[in-house]
Structure 1
Amino acid sequence: MVKQRYIQALFEEYMEIFPAVGIVGPRQVGKTTLVKNLSWGKNKIYLDLEKASDRAKLSDVELFFTNHQDSTVILDEIQLMPELFEELRSSIDEDRRPGRFILLGSASPDLIRSSADSLAGRIGYIELTPFTMKEILIEEMERLWMRGGYPLSFLASTERVSNLWRENFIKTYIERDLGLLGLNTDPKLVERFWMMLAHVQGSLWNGDNFARALGVTRPTVSRYLEFLEGSFMVRILQPYHRNVKKRLVKSPKVYIRDTGLLHALAGVKSYDELINQLLIGASWETFVIEQVINLLGSDYQYYFYRTHQGAECDLLLVKSGKVEWAIEIKNTLSPKISKGFLISMEDTKAANGAVISRVKEGYPLKGGVRNYSLLEFCEDIKKKYNETEGN
């Protein structure tokens, strides 16, 4: 079963604009399937840079690009050959027709250091995430939360198959993929690090604690975190501090982005097990944050807010320097607004306040705040954004 991906239209638009289009995202998220199903008029030449036979075809890169100038050349796992970026730049500068190259990568452009400078102004990047709410049926949302959005996990025939896939994905990622990205270290240490992150999901980052527990240095754990973020496994949410004259928490929060992987790392194999775990609150918070950010993308900037006096807000949506939404996330059917949340709205001068909980239908709360279901909030905010853009 192949689902239509939400970036399909944007991808095809980019192919009409940029000489090179980069699709980045974690492994096994469907990048290769997306480009192979591309309805693009040119011939397509596909090279998998994990294969020695395909890498050998690029022994003379300039000649290869010249011989296939009228085709769209797809380079999969481009992070394995970052030296190609200089040749790509030269080839594009000689012929800037759109749609000449598609680069697929399992690491962010920042992690593929050389691409940022070499292809500046010549490439448009798009991130392909695991499945989101936009790509599933309403009745599948609980499954998306439990299994996560990786296609082979979400679409698995049974819970056992989904669990086995995620467990093996994690094992392969730790033992092989991180090394291919350049993190050459003991896989057992990285596995412990990742499991420790799962058990403090959504907490403030304390690198010193991690370093002591693992018996390594603070720079080492910071490097682990950098690679997990750069390969789309981890989200680092920064604290909001603009124009607030209070003692604020300065450490970021860290989340394992996909809740299916989070549950696998924590040993949670079913929804019935999840509801009896302390992890459930952090898991729901993660799920909501990822769905909101994936829906809105670069339309907003994203932060959390916390003071040493106890004012706290799980997610701030900031646009043009102004806090448009302050959001509290509650894993309950009958949420109550905390005093700390109302103070955070006042501190940040938030234009709107929302609680996103497990309810099916929203209703107003005190202080102009509304209690939303996740689906209702996503639909409401997108509607308001479209109305604003239309004026």
Structure 2
Amino acid sequence: MASVVPSSPIGRILPRHAHRAVEDALADTRVVLINGARQCGKSTIVAQIGADRGAEWRSLDRAATRHAAEFDPTSFVRDDQMLVIDEVQRVPELLLAIKEVVDTDPRPGRFLLTGSARVLGLRGVPDALPGRMETIELWPLAQGEIDGTPDGFVDAVFDQGVDLRHGSLEQRTGYIDRVIRGGFPEAVARVGRRRETFFDNYVADIVNRDVIQLSEIERGPEMRALIRMLAARSGQLLVPGSIAGEIGLPQTTVNRYLGLLEEVFLIKRIPAWSRNLSSRAVSTAKAAMVDSGIAANLLGQDAASLRRIDSPLGGLLEGFVTMEIARQLTWSNVRAELFHYRTKDKVEVDIVLEDRRGRVVAIDVKSSATARPDDFKGINHLAERVGGDLVAGIVLYTGTETLAFGPKNRAVPISALWEM
């Protein structure tokens, strides 16, 4: 069937930063894969692009289409026009058939694929397309995509460093609303109990449909308990042994489950940064929930409860900021990687960005509307070790103005992430 652009639950199709990246990739690459969480907008992008190019659309979520692909992969992918295949991870055998086609006909833009799991990381998937396929990650909507603002913080902080300035009208309550909303189009379009129902169904669907079916696990309740534990530990070190002890599963099983949750884009692991500067730096990763709305819902938090002093807002806000930056790294001009930093003495920096030239931006996230010198303790510790490679130390906070706390340290409103 021909590509048809689906309607948006928000009422309008929001421009996505990834759209341009997909168009550029199709211009010189035979196979392009858009990889990302379910219901984050992959189908909308490929439908838009496919409709413009007169592409044939085939969704493997349809049982009849999936059975045809499984029965005869070679015939399924044989088509003279551009072919869009949605949810390709459901029939991974198609990748070898696609390889045969593009090796015979090496024109760019032959196949546009989507996947709701890290396709090449799944067990049993052949490594069929090296040098023939480009993968573009798509996350739930960034705040700038929702608001129609630039989403340019990563480029701005590396370009401007300590000269970065930003003023904001956003208040702490506004940030709380953004955290519980998250970025899935369906959640953005809903409020209150209807949004909570979407999140409940989404997590259940991921476990029952993707994780269990793709991996044939049998411990669904334990997987759900693990997901809730990860939401509660947002911003903390990911120690599988400790998690295994609390949840009552073998550590090998916990390690496997964590890998599965990352493959289906429910969590993202943030590796530790060290550059071998200190033997006291820990090497343990942290985990962030890909969507802050899901994390808040798993913890039973709404706007009213998150406004309380004893709420888990700090961890949720750190995860929210981390994933906004992770999204930006997929389209920023600066090619940088995302880490965290922590020593055995528990001195830490929430986010460390390092570009290909070794330049470093250190970022801490605070839920307070007031910034203090002590907020830069971890950043100052890291600055002593990287010296001139530090571009800037940034405390992102819920206040409204940029404040200087030394030659390279700045407190900056969180909204700079999407408004700069």
State TM-score, norm by structure 1: 0.90
Partner of 2:303 in structure 1? 271
Task: Output aligned runs, 1:230-309, within 5 Å.
Answer: 230-268=263-301, 270-276=302-308, 277-297=310-330, 299-309=335-345
1:267-300 deviation digits (Å, cap 9, x = unpaired): 11x2121122531001111111111221123710
SS in 2 for 1:366: coil
Which of 101, 106, 128 matches 2:111?
A: 101
Partner of 2:248: 215
Residue 375 (structure 1) shift: 3.0
Choose between structure 1 and 2 for higher RCO, CA contacts under 8 A separated by at least 6 residues: 2
Among candidates 226, 239, 243, match of residue 193 of structure 1 = 226
> 2:318 & 2:126 partners in 1: Cα distance?
32
Q: Distance between the aligned counterparts of 2:264 and 2:145, measured in 1?
A: 22
Structure 1 residue matching 2:16: 3-state secondary structure: coil
1:352 to 392, 399, 404: 392
Instruction: Compare 169-178 and 218-227 and name the one that shifted more.
Output: 169-178
Which letter maps to 1:346?
E
Contact 1:7–1:128, Cα closer than 8 Å, also in 2: yes
Aligned counterpart in structure 2 of residue 118 of structure 1, from 99, 122, 128:
128
Per-residue CA deviations over 1:216-271 (Å, capped at 9, x if unaligned) read: 21110001100111111111111111131341222111121210000111011x21
Counterpart pick for 2:72 among 60, 63, 67: 60
- Supply the distance in 2 between the matched residues of 1:285 and 1:47 (Cα, whole angstroms): 39
The residue that corresponds to 2:142 in the other structure is 132
Q: Which secondary structure does the structure 2 equivalent of 1:21 belong to? A: strand
Partner of 1:320: 356
Q: Give how far 1:324 is off.
A: 2.1
Q: Which residue of the partner structure matches residue 49 of structure 1?
A: 60
Q: Which residue of 2 aligns with 1:172?
A: 205
TM-score (norm 2): 0.84
State the percentage of identical aligned residues: 27
1:40 & 1:229 partners in 2: Cα distance?
A: 31
CA distance in 1 between counterparts of 2:121 and 2:101 reads 23
Provide the C-alpha distance between the structure 1 equivalents of 2:394 and 2:253, rounded to a whole number of angstroms: 38
- Amino acid of the residue matched to residue 73 of structure 2? V
Is 2:305–2:311's contact at 8 Å kept on the other side of the alignment? Answer: no
1:112-168 Cα shifts (integer Å, max 9, x gaps): 356672111111111111010220227786543221101100122x22211111111
Q: What is the CA deviation profile of residues 353-388 of structure 1, one whole-angstrom value per residue up to 9, with x for unaligned ones? A: 1111112221212343011112325666xxxxxxxx
Q: Is the 8 A contact 1:22 1:105 kept in 2?
A: yes
Inter-partner Cα distance in structure 1 for 2:117 and 2:76: 25
Which deviates more from structure 2 when the two are superposed, residues 283-292 or residues 180-189?
180-189
* 1:368-383 matches, cutoff 5 A: 368-376=408-416
CA distance in 2, matches of 1:210, 1:183: 22
CA distance in 2, matches of 1:110, 1:325: 31
Shift of 1:310: 3.9
Distance 2:129 2:56 in 1: 20
Deviation at 1:302, TM superposition (A): 1.3
Contact 2:379 2:393 in 1 (8 A): no
Q: Residue type matched to 1:112 in 2?
A: L
Query: Higher mean Cα deviation, 322-331 or 104-113?
Result: 104-113
Query: In the alignment, is the contact (CA less than 8 A) between 1:77 and 1:104 conserved in 2?
Result: yes
Range with bigger deviation, 133-142 or 90-99: 133-142
Q: Distance in 1 between matches of 2:347 and 2:242?
A: 25
1:160 corresponding residue in structure 2 = 193
Distance 1:86 1:28, change over 3 A: same
Deviating more after overlay: 356-365 vs 257-266: 356-365
In structure 1, the partner of 2:166 is: none
Shift in CA distance, 358/329, structure 1 to aligned 2, threshold 3 Å? same
The SS at the match of 1:287 is helix
SS in 2 for 1:203: coil
- Answer yes or no: is the 8 Å Cα contact 2:74–2:94 preserved in 1: no
Structure 1 residues 180 and 102: CA distance shift in structure 2, 3 A:
farther
* Residue aligned with 1:57, SS: helix
Unpaired segments of 5 or more residues in structure 2?
1-10, 150-169
Deviates more, 1:198-207 or 1:115-124: 115-124
**1:331: which partner in 2?**
367
Q: CA separation in 2, counterparts of 1:281 and 1:10? A: 33
Matched with 2:380 is 342
Say if 2:185 is the partner of 1:151.
Answer: yes
Displacement of 1:39: 5.9
Number of the residue aligned with 1:85: 95
2:51 and 2:367 map into 1 onto residues whose CA distance is 44
Alpha-carbon spacing, 1:244–1:36, altered in 2? closer, same or farther (3 Å):
same
Is this contact kept in 2: 1:302–1:317, CA < 8 A? yes
Whether the 8 Å CA contact 1:328–1:354 is kept in 2: the answer is yes
How far has the Cα of 1:193 moved from its partner? Answer: 0.7
Moved more, 212-221 or 316-325: 316-325
Whichever residue aligns with residue 72 of structure 2, its letter is D
**37, 42, 47: which one aligns with 1:31:** 42
| Matched residue type, 1:316 | V
SS in 2 for 1:120: coil
**2: CA distance between counterparts of 1:228 and 1:307?**
27
Decide whether the 8 Å contact of 1:133 with 1:141 is kept in 2. no
